[in-house]
Structure 1
């Protein structure tokens, strides 16, 4: 299960956070842990360079994309390799929506569309869609042409 998806700006402010199966009292812990992990390790990192960590028997894959940092936390079948695929789909979709690696301002300008894309990629902690063309069709809020 994908436990968490967080996107923060370069100074650690959370822009988007989604939790699945994480109790409310643990969310603050995860939020502060992931932001600290990113500020410690993402300085000077290249765009889309993946970093891997583990904490409390879960896996964490994170990267920087423009001015935002993306964190994905998973357990069980979502190990480092599966999370790398999830984060690749997320970063490539964000780049498509923003037409380039986003600044914080551009990310916030496209916030609604990015959230729709994230809902199509990950739903209730399970990876749903990885095909960018299908995601684009689904966020238009029209029924898909193919079944």
Structure 2
């Protein structure tokens, strides 16, 4: 299961978070842990350079895209490779929506469309769509023609 997808700015403020199957009392722990992990490791990182960690029997893959840090947390069948596929789909969708690696302002301007993309990629803790053209069609809020 994909436990969490988080977006934060470089100062550690959460921009978007999606938790699946994580009790509300544990969410604060995960927020602070992920932001600290990014602060320690993402300084000077290149865009879309993937970092991997594990904590409490879960896997974490994270990266930076423009001014936005992206974290994906998974367990069981969602190991490092599956999370890398998920984060690739997410970064591709964000780049498509923002037309380039986003600044925080551009990211927040496109917040609604990014949330739609995220909902199409990850649904109830499962990786749903990784094809960026299909995600693009689905967020237009029209029924897909190839189903």
Q: TM-score, normalised by structure 2?
A: 0.99
Q: Distance in 1 between matches of 2:130 and 2:72?
A: 15
1:52 matched to 2:52? The reply is yes
SS in 2 for 1:52: strand
CA deviation digits over 1:51-97, x for unaligned, max 9? 00000000000000000000000000000000000000000110010
Q: Could you tell me which residue of structure 2 aligns to residue 6 of structure 1? A: 6
Q: Distance in 1 between matches of 2:48 and 2:112?
A: 22
Q: Could you tell me which residue of structure 2 aligns to residue 83 of structure 1? A: 83
1:45-124 alignment runs, 5 A limit: 45-124=45-124
Q: Distance in 2 between matches of 1:84 and 1:132?
A: 15
Q: Distance in 1 between matches of 2:132 and 2:83?
A: 17
Q: Distance in 1 between matches of 2:72 and 2:48?
A: 13
User: Which sections of structure 2, spanning at least 5 residues, go unmatched?
Assistant: none
Instruction: Provide the aligned C-alpha RMSD in A.
Output: 0.4
Report how far residue 146 of structure 1 moved: 1.0
1:129 matched to 2:129? The reply is yes
1:145 matched to 2:142? The reply is no
CA deviation digits over 1:92-133, x for unaligned, max 9? 110010000000000000000000000000000000001111
Q: Distance in 2 between matches of 1:141 and 1:96?
A: 17
- List, as ranges, runs of 4+ consecutive aligned residues in structure 1 with deviation greater than 2 Å: none
User: Which sections of structure 1, spanning at least 5 residues, go unmatched?
Assistant: none
Q: Distance in 2 between matches of 1:136 and 1:80?
A: 25
